[in-house]
């Protein structure tokens, strides 16, 4: 199996994006424009003529120069993810790339000679293939109660929320971290890139005074409506704003052969009867702190 390291400046952009697009496990996180939005410097492992690819992020003395919370790095491949292929890629990662995170499906065994830690992770997904009324009939009682509150407060959806407002709402109402500013600006780049390609839409919930109480950005690729930047204000939480936000997204996309990816390990998607999807995350971190741009 021919796997080689290719520097970012030498990558064939068309072949890279084609591999991600047609990969059996393709998703939006692998496209070059998305990777460029979250990292200034990254290289890649390439199998053959871009049959399989894995992005690798540069490390500095203080950590990595990318935002791990914004991506789901996987080995993109047009081939089956065999044990042999996974082992070959992991063994091919040079030691100079010190901070590694890769997502693998459950059941994959790591090579015996490695220094990776395995973490069990999960996400929540909801099939949108059925009509809206069918999907709605499966909501939990708690979800119906939350939607009743939103109706009582006369909250209304808005599809004209600008990326700046979505990012600002997220920044103001999410747990603060040392890289929040970098995340804030990276999300701007991601949203505008998605809009430029016709791959995304914004959604928000407002009160009667046009105050934004909840918002999210959704992207469309590979049959998946992926949630980005979902957040709500404390007032919105009391009024059922987030519940109405996702109910509106479900209503808008119901009846299509798509999956709504909530992109969270929180439990609230279960009230929409979303299914928990388990996966493995392997990590190798030789430095304690992340350094972001």
pLDDT at 61: 45
Strands 224-232 and 259-261: parallel
Domain boundaries, the chain: 3-119+279-285, 123-278
Report, as an integer, the average pLDDT of 254-275: 96
- For residue 139, what are the contacts with CB-CB under 8 A and spacing of at least 6? 147, 271, 272, 273
The dihedral sign for the CA sequence 107, 260, 177, 268: negative
| Between 280 and 203, the higher pLDDT residue | 203
Tell me: the pLDDT tens digits for 99-125?
Answer: 788 888 766 666 665 678 888 889 999
Fold equal for 3-119+279-285 and 123-278: yes
Euclidean distance between CA atoms 128 and 260, whole angstroms: 7
| Between 174 and 60, the higher pLDDT residue | 174
Q: How many CB atoms sit inside 10 A of residue 211's CB? A: 12
pLDDT at 292: 39
Tell me: the pLDDT tens digits for 182-198?
Answer: 889 999 999 999 999 99
Alpha carbons within 13 A on the beta-carbon side of 123: 16
Instruction: Please tell me the least confidently modeled range out of 21-25, 29-33, 56-60, 260-264.
Output: 56-60
What is the topology classification, in CATH, of domain 3-119+279-285?
Aminopeptidase (3.40.630)
Euclidean distance between CA atoms 116 and 102, whole angstroms: 10
Residue 228 has pLDDT above 90, yes or no: yes
Instruction: Please tell me the least confidently modeled range out of 12-16, 111-115, 289-293.
Output: 289-293
Euclidean distance between CA atoms 192 and 187, whole angstroms: 9
Give residue 158's region: left, alpha or beta (phi > 0; psi -120 to 50).
beta
- For residue 207, what are the contacts with CB-CB under 8 A and spacing of at least 6? 153, 154, 155, 213, 235, 239
- For residue 203, what are the contacts with CB-CB under 8 A and spacing of at least 6? 157, 158, 159, 161, 215, 216, 217, 218, 245, 248, 249, 252
Residue 276 has pLDDT above 50, yes or no: yes
Euclidean distance between CA atoms 241 and 96, whole angstroms: 46
Asked whether 21 and 50 are in contact (CB, 8 A), the reply is no
Residue 288 has pLDDT above 50, yes or no: no
Distances (CA, A) of 265 to 48, 125, 261: 35, 10, 11
Residue 275 has pLDDT above 80, yes or no: yes
- CATH superfamily, region 123-278: Gcn5-related N-acetyltransferase (GNAT) (3.40.630.30)
Tell me: the pLDDT tens digits for 48-87?
Answer: 999 999 999 876 544 446 677 788 889 999 998 888 898 8
Structural tokens at position 168: 């600002």
pLDDT band at 290 (very low <50, low <70, confident <90, very high): very low
pLDDT at 289: 36
- The residue written with tokens 């959604």 in the block is 203
Tell me: the pLDDT tens digits for 117-148?
Answer: 888 889 999 999 999 999 999 999 999 999 99
Mean of all residue pLDDT scores within the chain: 89
Strands 224-232 and 3-6: unpaired
């Amino acid at each position: 199996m021919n796997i080689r390291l290719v520097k970012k400046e030498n990558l064939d952009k068309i072949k890279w994006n084609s591999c991600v697009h047609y990969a059996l496990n393709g998703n939006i996180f692998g496209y070059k424009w998305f990777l460029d939005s979250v990292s200034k410097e990254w290289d890649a492992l390439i199998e053959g003529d871009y049959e399989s690819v894995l992005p690798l992020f540069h490390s500095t003395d203080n950590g990595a120069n990318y935002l791990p919370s914004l991506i789901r790095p996987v080995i993109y491949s047009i081939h089956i993810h065999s044990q042999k292929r996974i082992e070959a890629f992991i063994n091919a990662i040079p030691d100079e790339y010190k901070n590694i995170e890769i997502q693998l499906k459950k059941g994959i065994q790591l090579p015996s000679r490695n220094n990776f830690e395995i973490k069990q992770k999960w996400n929540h997904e909801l099939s949108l293939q059925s009509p809206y009324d069918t999907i709605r009939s499966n909501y939990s009682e708690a979800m119906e109660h939350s939607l009743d509150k939103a109706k009582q407060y006369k909250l209304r959806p808005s599809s004209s929320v600008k990326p700046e407002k979505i990012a600002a709402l997220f920044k103001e109402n999410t747990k603060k971290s040392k890289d929040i500013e970098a995340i804030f600006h990276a999300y701007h780049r991601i949203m505008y890139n998605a809009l430029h390609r016709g791959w995304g839409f914004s959604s928000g919930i407002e009160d009667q005074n046009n105050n934004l109480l909840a918002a999210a950005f959704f992207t469309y690729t590979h049959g998946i409506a992926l949630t980005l930047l979902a957040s709500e204000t404390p007032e919105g939480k009391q009024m059922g704003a987030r519940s109405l936000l996702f109910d509106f997204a479900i209503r808008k996309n119901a009846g299509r052969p798509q999956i709504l990816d909530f992109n969270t390990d929180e439990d609230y998607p279960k009230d929409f009867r979303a299914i928990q999807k388990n996966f493995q995350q392997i990590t190798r971190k030789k430095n304690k702190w992340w350094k972001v741009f």
